[in-house]
Structure 1
Protein backbone atom coordinates (compact mmCIF):
# COMPACT_ATOMS: atom_id res chain seq x y z
CA UNK A 1 0.00 0.00 0.00
CA UNK A 2 1.40 3.36 -1.06
CA UNK A 3 1.91 5.68 1.92
CA UNK A 4 0.44 8.74 0.22
CA UNK A 5 -0.18 10.48 3.57
CA UNK A 6 3.41 10.27 4.86
CA UNK A 7 4.19 13.49 6.70
CA UNK A 8 0.50 14.46 6.75
CA UNK A 9 -1.90 14.68 9.67
CA UNK A 10 -5.52 13.71 10.13
CA UNK A 11 -7.67 15.51 12.72
CA UNK A 12 -10.53 13.58 14.31
CA UNK A 13 -12.91 15.55 16.53
CA UNK A 14 -14.29 13.37 19.32
CA UNK A 15 -16.40 13.64 22.45
CA UNK A 16 -18.23 11.51 24.96
CA UNK A 17 -20.53 8.93 23.29
CA UNK A 18 -18.00 8.16 20.59
CA UNK A 19 -18.07 4.75 18.89
CA UNK A 20 -14.88 2.82 19.81
CA UNK A 21 -14.76 0.78 16.61
CA UNK A 22 -14.94 3.96 14.54
CA UNK A 23 -12.01 5.61 16.34
CA UNK A 24 -9.95 2.43 16.08
CA UNK A 25 -10.72 2.30 12.36
CA UNK A 26 -9.40 5.85 11.79
CA UNK A 27 -6.23 5.21 13.76
CA UNK A 28 -5.40 2.02 11.90
CA UNK A 29 -6.70 2.99 8.45
CA UNK A 30 -4.91 6.32 8.08
CA UNK A 31 -1.73 4.97 9.69
CA UNK A 32 -1.54 2.45 6.84
CA UNK A 33 -1.23 5.40 4.46
CA UNK A 34 1.47 7.01 6.61
CA UNK A 35 -0.58 9.68 8.37
CA UNK A 36 -0.46 10.79 12.00
CA UNK A 37 -3.93 10.81 13.55
CA UNK A 38 -4.70 13.49 16.15
CA UNK A 39 -7.75 12.95 18.35
CA UNK A 40 -9.02 16.21 19.81
CA UNK A 41 -11.84 17.44 22.02
CA UNK A 42 -12.56 20.07 24.69
CA UNK A 43 -10.20 19.78 27.64
CA UNK A 44 -11.96 22.51 29.64
CA UNK A 45 -8.68 24.01 30.85
CA UNK A 46 -7.08 20.69 31.79
CA UNK A 47 -4.02 19.02 30.25
CA UNK A 48 -6.07 15.95 29.36
CA UNK A 49 -9.57 14.61 29.64
CA UNK A 50 -11.15 11.17 29.80
CA UNK A 51 -14.19 10.66 27.59
CA UNK A 52 -16.47 7.63 27.54
CA UNK A 53 -17.97 5.65 24.70
CA UNK A 54 -21.53 4.98 23.63
CA UNK A 55 -23.21 1.78 24.81
CA UNK A 56 -25.91 0.50 22.45
CA UNK A 57 -27.04 -2.47 24.50
CA UNK A 58 -26.19 -4.55 27.53
CA UNK A 59 -23.71 -6.72 25.65
CA UNK A 60 -21.33 -3.82 25.03
CA UNK A 61 -18.98 -2.48 27.68
CA UNK A 62 -18.38 1.18 28.35
CA UNK A 63 -14.94 2.19 27.09
CA UNK A 64 -12.78 5.14 28.07
CA UNK A 65 -10.24 7.16 26.12
CA UNK A 66 -7.82 9.87 27.27
CA UNK A 67 -7.56 12.88 24.95
CA UNK A 68 -4.68 15.35 25.27
CA UNK A 69 -5.28 17.72 22.35
CA UNK A 70 -7.53 20.76 22.74
CA UNK A 71 -9.57 21.77 19.68
CA UNK A 72 -9.26 25.48 20.50
CA UNK A 73 -5.46 25.24 20.24
CA UNK A 74 -5.45 23.35 16.94
CA UNK A 75 -5.15 24.84 13.46
CA UNK A 76 -7.20 23.01 10.80
CA UNK A 77 -4.85 24.25 8.09
CA UNK A 78 -2.14 21.98 9.48
CA UNK A 79 -4.19 18.92 8.51
CA UNK A 80 -4.69 17.16 5.20
CA UNK A 81 -7.93 15.60 6.43
CA UNK A 82 -10.39 16.83 9.06
CA UNK A 83 -13.12 14.53 10.37
CA UNK A 84 -15.87 14.73 12.95
CA UNK A 85 -16.70 11.39 14.52
CA UNK A 86 -20.18 9.86 14.34
CA UNK A 87 -22.94 9.42 16.91
CA UNK A 88 -23.65 12.27 19.37
CA UNK A 89 -20.11 13.66 19.22
CA UNK A 90 -21.18 16.65 17.09
CA UNK A 91 -24.12 17.37 19.40
CA UNK A 92 -21.78 17.69 22.38
CA UNK A 93 -19.16 19.64 20.43
CA UNK A 94 -21.77 22.30 19.57
CA UNK A 95 -22.34 23.22 23.21
CA UNK A 96 -22.29 27.00 23.57
CA UNK A 97 -19.72 28.09 26.19
CA UNK A 98 -19.58 28.37 29.08
CA UNK A 99 -20.58 24.75 29.65
CA UNK A 100 -23.89 24.54 31.47
CA UNK A 101 -25.06 28.02 30.45
CA UNK A 102 -28.55 28.79 29.15
CA UNK A 103 -26.94 29.81 25.87
CA UNK A 104 -26.94 32.97 23.80
CA UNK A 105 -28.22 33.01 20.22
CA UNK A 106 -25.42 35.37 19.20
CA UNK A 107 -22.89 32.72 20.26
CA UNK A 108 -24.18 29.84 18.13
CA UNK A 109 -21.01 29.92 16.02
CA UNK A 110 -18.67 30.36 18.98
CA UNK A 111 -17.86 26.77 20.09
CA UNK A 112 -14.27 25.91 19.17
CA UNK A 113 -15.28 22.80 17.24
CA UNK A 114 -17.79 24.77 15.16
CA UNK A 115 -15.11 27.35 14.32
CA UNK A 116 -12.52 24.64 13.62
CA UNK A 117 -14.79 22.85 11.17
CA UNK A 118 -15.88 26.12 9.56
CA UNK A 119 -12.26 27.11 8.97
CA UNK A 120 -11.57 23.71 7.44
CA UNK A 121 -14.58 24.07 5.15
CA UNK A 122 -13.19 27.36 3.84
CA UNK A 123 -9.95 25.66 2.77
CA UNK A 124 -10.65 23.62 -0.40
CA UNK A 125 -7.32 21.80 -0.05
CA UNK A 126 -8.44 20.03 3.14
CA UNK A 127 -10.56 16.89 2.80
CA UNK A 128 -13.50 17.21 5.16
CA UNK A 129 -15.36 14.14 6.39
CA UNK A 130 -18.71 14.03 8.19
CA UNK A 131 -20.18 10.67 9.17
CA UNK A 132 -23.68 9.96 10.47
CA UNK A 133 -24.65 12.84 12.82
CA UNK A 134 -21.46 14.85 12.17
CA UNK A 135 -23.05 17.45 9.88
CA UNK A 136 -24.63 18.85 13.04
CA UNK A 137 -21.27 20.56 13.51
CA UNK A 138 -21.81 22.56 10.31
CA UNK A 139 -25.43 23.61 10.81
CA UNK A 140 -24.48 26.64 12.97
CA UNK A 141 -22.79 28.01 9.81
CA UNK A 142 -25.41 27.12 7.19
CA UNK A 143 -23.73 29.10 4.41
CA UNK A 144 -21.01 26.42 4.42
CA UNK A 145 -23.57 23.68 3.80
CA UNK A 146 -25.77 25.52 1.34
CA UNK A 147 -25.96 23.71 -2.02
CA UNK A 148 -23.46 21.07 -0.92
CA UNK A 149 -24.39 17.48 -1.83
CA UNK A 150 -24.45 15.27 1.26
CA UNK A 151 -25.78 12.15 2.87
CA UNK A 152 -26.35 11.74 6.61
CA UNK A 153 -28.26 9.84 9.25
CA UNK A 154 -31.99 10.58 9.10
CA UNK A 155 -31.82 11.89 12.69
CA UNK A 156 -30.08 15.05 11.43
CA UNK A 157 -31.70 15.23 8.01
CA UNK A 158 -34.16 18.02 8.87
CA UNK A 159 -31.37 20.22 10.26
CA UNK A 160 -29.15 19.54 7.25
CA UNK A 161 -31.93 20.41 4.80
CA UNK A 162 -32.77 23.57 6.76
CA UNK A 163 -29.12 24.58 6.39
CA UNK A 164 -29.55 24.47 2.62
CA UNK A 165 -27.70 21.26 1.79
CA UNK A 166 -28.79 18.94 -1.00
CA UNK A 167 -29.55 15.46 0.32
CA UNK A 168 -28.46 12.61 -1.95
CA UNK A 169 -29.82 9.21 -0.80
CA UNK A 170 -27.11 7.32 -2.65
CA UNK A 171 -27.33 3.54 -2.33
CA UNK A 172 -23.59 3.37 -1.60
CA UNK A 173 -24.27 5.41 1.59
CA UNK A 174 -21.40 7.77 0.66
CA UNK A 175 -21.52 11.09 -1.18
CA UNK A 176 -18.52 13.09 -2.38
CA UNK A 177 -18.93 16.79 -3.16
CA UNK A 178 -15.52 18.14 -4.15
CA UNK A 179 -13.60 18.33 -0.84
CA UNK A 180 -16.49 17.16 1.37
CA UNK A 181 -17.12 13.47 1.99
CA UNK A 182 -20.22 12.38 3.88
CA UNK A 183 -21.55 8.95 4.82
CA UNK A 184 -24.76 7.68 6.35
CA UNK A 185 -23.51 5.81 9.44
CA UNK A 186 -20.66 4.07 11.19
CA UNK A 187 -21.69 0.90 9.37
CA UNK A 188 -20.18 2.46 6.25
CA UNK A 189 -16.64 3.01 7.55
CA UNK A 190 -14.80 0.99 4.91
CA UNK A 191 -16.34 2.69 1.89
CA UNK A 192 -16.20 6.05 3.68
CA UNK A 193 -12.49 5.67 4.36
CA UNK A 194 -11.81 4.74 0.75
CA UNK A 195 -13.81 7.76 -0.45
CA UNK A 196 -11.73 10.05 1.78
CA UNK A 197 -8.48 8.66 0.36
CA UNK A 198 -9.79 8.90 -3.21
CA UNK A 199 -10.83 12.52 -2.58
CA UNK A 200 -7.39 13.33 -1.16
CA UNK A 201 -5.73 11.84 -4.24
CA UNK A 202 -8.00 13.80 -6.60
CA UNK A 203 -7.33 17.06 -4.76
CA UNK A 204 -3.58 16.51 -4.99
CA UNK A 205 -3.21 15.48 -8.62
Structure 2
Protein backbone atom coordinates (compact mmCIF):
# COMPACT_ATOMS: atom_id res chain seq x y z
CA UNK A 1 0.00 0.00 0.00
CA UNK A 2 1.36 3.42 -0.95
CA UNK A 3 2.53 5.55 1.95
CA UNK A 4 0.59 8.55 3.35
CA UNK A 5 -2.68 7.20 1.95
CA UNK A 6 -4.37 8.08 5.25
CA UNK A 7 -3.09 11.64 5.41
CA UNK A 8 -5.45 13.77 7.48
CA UNK A 9 -7.32 10.78 8.94
CA UNK A 10 -7.66 10.10 12.66
CA UNK A 11 -7.74 6.67 14.29
CA UNK A 12 -9.08 6.17 17.82
CA UNK A 13 -7.71 3.23 19.80
CA UNK A 14 -9.24 2.21 23.11
CA UNK A 15 -6.63 0.98 25.58
CA UNK A 16 -6.27 -0.04 29.22
CA UNK A 17 -3.70 -1.65 31.50
CA UNK A 18 -2.26 -5.03 30.53
CA UNK A 19 -2.02 -3.88 26.94
CA UNK A 20 0.23 -5.73 24.48
CA UNK A 21 3.27 -3.47 23.88
CA UNK A 22 4.01 -4.83 20.41
CA UNK A 23 0.42 -4.20 19.33
CA UNK A 24 0.50 -0.60 20.56
CA UNK A 25 3.83 -0.01 18.81
CA UNK A 26 2.42 -1.43 15.57
CA UNK A 27 -0.48 1.04 15.61
CA UNK A 28 1.87 3.94 16.18
CA UNK A 29 4.31 2.90 13.49
CA UNK A 30 2.09 1.64 10.68
CA UNK A 31 -0.74 4.14 10.91
CA UNK A 32 1.91 6.84 11.25
CA UNK A 33 3.62 5.64 8.08
CA UNK A 34 0.28 5.87 6.30
CA UNK A 35 -0.16 9.46 7.45
CA UNK A 36 -2.91 8.95 10.03
CA UNK A 37 -3.05 10.50 13.48
CA UNK A 38 -3.32 7.85 16.20
CA UNK A 39 -5.18 8.83 19.38
CA UNK A 40 -4.92 6.39 22.25
CA UNK A 41 -7.84 6.93 24.59
CA UNK A 42 -9.54 5.40 27.58
CA UNK A 43 -11.71 6.26 30.55
CA UNK A 44 -9.69 8.68 32.67
CA UNK A 45 -12.04 8.94 35.66
CA UNK A 46 -11.74 12.72 35.88
CA UNK A 47 -7.95 12.72 35.62
CA UNK A 48 -6.06 14.77 33.05
CA UNK A 49 -4.08 11.67 32.18
CA UNK A 50 -3.47 8.12 33.34
CA UNK A 51 -0.45 5.86 33.04
CA UNK A 52 -1.36 2.31 32.06
CA UNK A 53 1.04 -0.50 32.80
CA UNK A 54 1.68 -3.85 31.19
CA UNK A 55 3.65 -6.87 32.31
CA UNK A 56 2.62 -8.91 29.27
CA UNK A 57 5.63 -10.99 28.23
CA UNK A 58 7.64 -9.13 30.87
CA UNK A 59 9.51 -12.16 32.20
CA UNK A 60 13.09 -10.98 32.38
CA UNK A 61 12.07 -7.62 30.93
CA UNK A 62 11.02 -4.29 32.39
CA UNK A 63 7.39 -3.20 32.71
CA UNK A 64 5.92 -1.20 29.84
CA UNK A 65 3.94 2.01 30.31
CA UNK A 66 1.49 3.93 28.17
CA UNK A 67 0.47 7.49 29.07
CA UNK A 68 -3.02 8.43 27.90
CA UNK A 69 -4.49 11.93 28.09
CA UNK A 70 -7.65 11.55 26.01
CA UNK A 71 -10.92 10.44 27.59
CA UNK A 72 -13.17 8.94 24.92
CA UNK A 73 -16.14 10.57 26.66
CA UNK A 74 -14.77 13.97 25.63
CA UNK A 75 -14.27 13.38 21.89
CA UNK A 76 -16.54 13.61 18.87
CA UNK A 77 -16.53 10.07 17.54
CA UNK A 78 -17.44 11.37 14.07
CA UNK A 79 -13.99 12.98 13.82
CA UNK A 80 -12.47 9.51 13.46
CA UNK A 81 -12.11 7.38 10.35
CA UNK A 82 -11.67 4.27 12.49
CA UNK A 83 -12.32 3.21 16.08
CA UNK A 84 -10.40 0.21 17.39
CA UNK A 85 -10.70 -1.85 20.57
CA UNK A 86 -7.22 -3.13 21.35
CA UNK A 87 -6.39 -6.62 22.60
CA UNK A 88 -5.58 -7.69 26.13
CA UNK A 89 -7.76 -6.54 29.04
CA UNK A 90 -9.16 -3.42 27.38
CA UNK A 91 -12.66 -4.74 26.75
CA UNK A 92 -12.84 -6.39 30.17
CA UNK A 93 -11.83 -3.30 32.13
CA UNK A 94 -13.85 -0.85 30.06
CA UNK A 95 -17.10 -2.79 30.48
CA UNK A 96 -17.21 -1.51 34.05
CA UNK A 97 -20.38 0.41 34.90
CA UNK A 98 -21.67 2.21 37.99
CA UNK A 99 -24.56 0.37 39.59
CA UNK A 100 -27.43 2.49 40.90
CA UNK A 101 -27.21 2.76 44.69
CA UNK A 102 -29.92 0.89 46.53
CA UNK A 103 -31.02 -1.08 43.48
CA UNK A 104 -30.11 -4.63 42.47
CA UNK A 105 -27.74 -4.99 39.54
CA UNK A 106 -29.36 -6.17 36.32
CA UNK A 107 -27.89 -7.35 33.03
CA UNK A 108 -29.53 -4.35 31.36
CA UNK A 109 -27.23 -2.03 33.31
CA UNK A 110 -24.19 -3.48 31.55
CA UNK A 111 -25.30 -1.51 28.50
CA UNK A 112 -24.66 1.74 30.38
CA UNK A 113 -20.88 1.34 30.58
CA UNK A 114 -19.45 4.46 28.87
CA UNK A 115 -17.10 2.46 26.65
CA UNK A 116 -19.93 0.19 25.54
CA UNK A 117 -21.95 3.26 24.60
CA UNK A 118 -18.96 4.78 22.79
CA UNK A 119 -18.33 1.72 20.65
CA UNK A 120 -22.06 1.36 20.01
CA UNK A 121 -22.03 4.92 18.58
CA UNK A 122 -19.23 3.88 16.25
CA UNK A 123 -21.18 0.80 15.19
CA UNK A 124 -24.16 3.03 14.35
CA UNK A 125 -22.10 5.11 11.90
CA UNK A 126 -21.36 3.19 8.69
CA UNK A 127 -18.74 5.81 7.71
CA UNK A 128 -16.54 4.78 10.65
CA UNK A 129 -14.43 1.65 10.24
CA UNK A 130 -14.67 -0.46 13.39
CA UNK A 131 -11.91 -2.78 14.55
CA UNK A 132 -11.86 -5.30 17.41
CA UNK A 133 -8.98 -7.69 17.95
CA UNK A 134 -8.55 -10.69 20.24
CA UNK A 135 -10.85 -10.01 23.26
CA UNK A 136 -12.12 -6.72 21.78
CA UNK A 137 -15.63 -7.85 20.86
CA UNK A 138 -16.36 -8.48 24.54
CA UNK A 139 -17.09 -4.75 24.67
CA UNK A 140 -20.18 -5.31 22.51
CA UNK A 141 -21.69 -8.34 24.24
CA UNK A 142 -23.89 -6.13 26.48
CA UNK A 143 -25.59 -5.07 23.22
CA UNK A 144 -26.03 -8.36 21.34
CA UNK A 145 -28.16 -6.69 18.67
CA UNK A 146 -24.95 -5.06 17.41
CA UNK A 147 -23.32 -8.46 16.87
CA UNK A 148 -26.35 -10.33 15.58
CA UNK A 149 -25.48 -11.93 12.24
CA UNK A 150 -22.10 -10.22 11.92
CA UNK A 151 -19.25 -12.35 10.58
CA UNK A 152 -16.31 -12.18 12.97
CA UNK A 153 -13.23 -13.85 14.32
CA UNK A 154 -12.01 -13.60 17.90
CA UNK A 155 -9.79 -15.32 20.42
CA UNK A 156 -11.02 -18.74 21.48
CA UNK A 157 -11.58 -17.66 25.10
CA UNK A 158 -14.26 -15.18 24.00
CA UNK A 159 -15.84 -17.40 21.33
CA UNK A 160 -18.75 -18.75 23.39
CA UNK A 161 -19.77 -15.25 24.51
CA UNK A 162 -19.52 -13.81 21.01
CA UNK A 163 -21.50 -16.70 19.51
CA UNK A 164 -24.15 -16.39 22.24
CA UNK A 165 -24.48 -12.73 21.30
CA UNK A 166 -25.50 -13.84 17.81
CA UNK A 167 -22.32 -13.28 15.83
CA UNK A 168 -21.20 -15.77 13.18
CA UNK A 169 -17.70 -17.07 13.88
CA UNK A 170 -15.65 -17.46 10.69
CA UNK A 171 -12.32 -19.32 10.87
CA UNK A 172 -9.64 -17.54 8.87
CA UNK A 173 -6.10 -18.58 7.99
CA UNK A 174 -5.06 -14.92 8.00
CA UNK A 175 -6.57 -14.33 11.44
CA UNK A 176 -8.67 -11.49 9.99
CA UNK A 177 -12.34 -11.29 9.03
CA UNK A 178 -13.96 -8.29 7.34
CA UNK A 179 -17.73 -7.85 7.41
CA UNK A 180 -18.77 -4.55 5.88
CA UNK A 181 -17.07 -1.81 7.89
CA UNK A 182 -16.26 -4.18 10.79
CA UNK A 183 -12.78 -5.72 10.96
CA UNK A 184 -11.97 -8.39 13.54
CA UNK A 185 -8.71 -10.14 14.35
CA UNK A 186 -8.08 -13.38 16.19
CA UNK A 187 -5.18 -12.23 18.36
CA UNK A 188 -2.77 -9.39 19.02
CA UNK A 189 -0.19 -11.31 17.01
CA UNK A 190 -2.30 -10.64 13.90
CA UNK A 191 -2.08 -6.87 14.33
CA UNK A 192 -0.13 -6.30 11.09
CA UNK A 193 -2.82 -7.79 8.86
CA UNK A 194 -5.47 -6.19 11.10
CA UNK A 195 -4.07 -2.70 10.49
CA UNK A 196 -3.78 -3.24 6.74
CA UNK A 197 -7.41 -4.41 6.50
CA UNK A 198 -8.59 -1.33 8.42
CA UNK A 199 -6.48 0.99 6.28
CA UNK A 200 -7.86 -0.53 3.10
CA UNK A 201 -11.42 0.01 4.32
CA UNK A 202 -10.73 3.66 5.20
CA UNK A 203 -9.40 4.24 1.68
CA UNK A 204 -12.39 2.39 0.23
CA UNK A 205 -14.77 4.55 2.24
CA UNK A 206 -13.07 7.68 0.89
CA UNK A 207 -13.20 6.43 -2.70
CA UNK A 208 -16.88 5.57 -2.47
CA UNK A 209 -17.64 8.97 -0.92
CA UNK A 210 -15.86 10.80 -3.73
CA UNK A 211 -17.63 8.71 -6.37
CA UNK A 212 -20.97 9.44 -4.73
CA UNK A 213 -20.30 13.16 -4.71
CA UNK A 214 -19.24 13.07 -8.36
CA UNK A 215 -22.41 11.15 -9.27
CA UNK A 216 -24.55 13.70 -7.44
CA UNK A 217 -22.72 16.49 -9.25
CA UNK A 218 -23.36 14.92 -12.64
CA UNK A 219 -27.05 14.20 -12.02
CA UNK A 220 -27.96 17.46 -10.31
TM-score w.r.t. the length of structure 2 is 0.87
Give me the CA root mean square deviation: 1.5
CA displacement, residues 108-149 of structure 1 (integer Å, 9 cap, x when unaligned): 111111111000001111111100000001111111111000
Question: CA–CA distance in 2 between the matches of 1:104 and 1:24?
Answer: 38
The alignment partner of 1:130 has SS state of: strand
In the alignment, what sits opposite 2:42? 41
CA contact (8 A) 2:17 2:54 kept: yes
**Partner Cα distance (2:37, 2:109) in 1:** 32
Give the drift of 1:33.
Answer: 1.2
Structure 1 range deviating more: 71-80 or 146-155: 71-80
When Rg is computed on C-alpha atoms for both structures, the one with the higher figure is 2
Q: For this pair of structures, how many residues does the alignment match?
A: 202
Q: Secondary structure at the match of 2:35?
A: coil
> What is aligned with 2:200?
198
The counterpart of 2:128, out of the listed 126, 129, 134, is: 126
Post-superposition shift, 1:18?
Answer: 0.5
Distance in 1 (alpha carbons) for counterparts of 2:173 and 2:17: 30
Which has the larger share of helix?
2
Structure 1 runs not aligned, ≥5 long: none
8 Å CA contact 1:51, 1:66 repeated in 2: yes
Describe the SS at the equivalent of 2:52.
strand
Whether 1:110 aligns to 2:108 is no
Deviation string, structure 1 residues 4-57 (Cα, Å, up to 9, x no partner): 221110000000111111111101111111111111011111111111114235
* C-alpha deviation, 1:74, in angstroms: 1.8
